[in-house]
A and B are shown apart, each in its own frame.
Chain A
């Protein structure tokens, strides 16, 4: 109106996200866009870097002594970091990647506020079942997996709200002991799928094997392994 120059709409949104004035829903949408659009993600990062020095003006407040012990206690239980790094090796270096994809899914889960779905396979021999929670680097599980070796049946439930990021597909991967990812197919957000592990796949679904979900173009990765950022990983363990 005033004829003053303005930031282009996409950069204005990036700046607003960095400043922190967006609503929960808008933040989730922006994080999802960051995961899919590296140029936009770079704009957000540039604005974060511009504004971050303001934090220097905040008065420091000493946290309680007990907090470091809490943090330290949480460290050993956290082997996700090493797992993430291993995952990064095979997915190949890509910009932005993991955290952004995971953040967008986590944000979406938070926005939807759905109660977590508990997968409860019935009438299966106790002790033989395996399960895994697939998480991003932070936040709640995004996918829950249960495996019944007797039936060679793997059930995966997506806790990502239906309709999230329709421009991409969530592809499930099995990463057995040889660290080579095998595609197990596409999981629609908010749905459960039962997959039968045929042939050589079945023995690979064992305790300690990893499962991961990557964000791919519709139809899934066209290469021999994930082509997009990995949004969640987890390890199979006995229930």
Chain B
């Protein structure tokens, strides 16, 4: 990251090689559209290039930071399609060969395990709804429509689930 702050393009390229397939997967999962996912991914790396100086290693792993930027941008793009847009069935795509994991990716493994364990402690329905919301980036309204459940109910599942998740992660 410090090399990227200093304007080292080779460093950005290394980061791109290590992380682009993961971030493209994140964008594509939300947008279900290759062209839009490419546009968003380009924005994401340009943002990283400009904002690397704002990355705080103490607060998040590089991968978590970049994944957050990618999700945010992809969700913005999804919302621009309209209030009820929800990800269409995913187009068939070839999954990438699992690239050799860079250290940037590995440092997240522990956090991942903790979160997975805590989601596992929620009831299955709540965990599924939270996962769906996260992966697909859809609104409460769209979730309720998908699940054929009242909006207020979905909202309360998620809010309670998040509260328990927080308690578990902090314990």
Contacts and interface: CB of A to CB of B under 8 A. Distances in A.
B95 A59 contact: yes
B169 interface: yes
A68 B63 CA distance: 18
Contacts of A56: 22, 63, 108-109, 112
A137 B99 CA distance: 31
A96 to B, nearest CB: 10
A45 B59 contact: yes
A169 B21 CA distance: 42
Given A23-B79, A54-B135, A67-B38, A137 B51 contact: yes
Given A7-B159, A64-B38, A68-B16, A52 B49 contact: no
A48 interface: yes
A5 interface: yes
B67 interface: yes
Given A20-B134, A48-B68, A60-B96, A6 B169 contact: no
Given A16-B158, A55-B71, A63-B24, A21 B38 contact: no
Contact of B108 (A53, A59, A62): A53
Given A53-B115, A63-B20, A23 B83 contact: yes
Contacts, number: 176
Interface string A64-106: 1001101110110010110011000000000000010000000
Contact of B71 (A20, A63, A110): A20
B132 to A, nearest CB: 10
A52 B64 contact: yes
Nearest to B75: A20
Given A58-B26, A71-B46, 18 more contacts: A12-B162, A15-B159, A19-B133, A19-B134, A19-B158, A23-B79, A45-B59, A47-B162, A49-B60, A49-B68, A52-B65, A52-B67, A61-B93, A64-B38, A70-B38, A70-B42, A75-B9, A81-B49
Interface of A: 4-7, 12, 15-16, 19-24, 27, 45, 47-64, 67-68, 70-72, 74-75, 78, 80-81, 84-85, 99, 107, 110, 137-138
